[in-house]
Amino acid sequence: MSVQRFGVSLQKELLEDLDNLVVKRSFPNRSQAIAFLIEKYKVERGWEEDAVVTGAILLVYDHHKRDVVDQSIHIQHEYQPLILALQHIHVTHDACLETIAVKGRASEIRELADKLIGMKGVEYGDLMMSKVVV
C-alpha cells in the first residue's frame, strides 16, 4: 500500500488533543494517530451499517450462580454460526472470565452479546468491536 502525503490544518485545541493521543497511545508520529482514528471510524461505521464484522464478547460471572453456565451454553448454541472460539478462565474460586470471539452481521453479534450480558449472574459484560471483514 503506497503512502500519500497531505497537509492538515487544525485548530490549536484539536492539535493538542492529537498530540496527547500520540503520547498516550505511544504512536511514533501524528500520521499513525490519524490513521488509527480513521480505522476506528471505519470499524464503527461498519457496525452501524450492519456489515459482516469481527469482535469479542467479554463476560465475568460467578459460576456458582444458579444456571448461569447452562444459560450461557444454551444461548451460544442458538448463535453457534457466529462463534469462532471461546476461552474460559477461572479468575478466582468463584469468578470466571469468558471471552467469545465472534464473526457475523453486526446486528446478530449485538443480539448475542445483549442476551449473554443480560443473563442473571453476569457481573460484567462488554462487546468489543473489531474490523469489518472484507
Task: Tell me the average pLDDT of the chain.
Answer: 93
Domain boundaries along the sequence of the chain: 12-48, 52-132
pLDDT at 66 over 80: no
pLDDT at 17 over 90: yes
Question: What is the separation, in whole angstroms, between the first and last Cα of the chain?
Answer: 16
Q: Which CATH architecture has domain 52-132?
A: 2-Layer Sandwich (3.30)
pLDDT (average), residues 7-28: 95
pTM as predicted: 0.82
**Is a pLDDT exceeding 90 seen at residue 76?**
yes
Q: Which three cell numbers stand for residue 49?
A: 451499517
Q: Please give the helix or strand (H or E) that residue 106 lies within, else none.
A: helix 106-117
Cα–Cα distance measured from residue 80 to residue 77, given in angstroms and rounded to the nearest whole number = 5
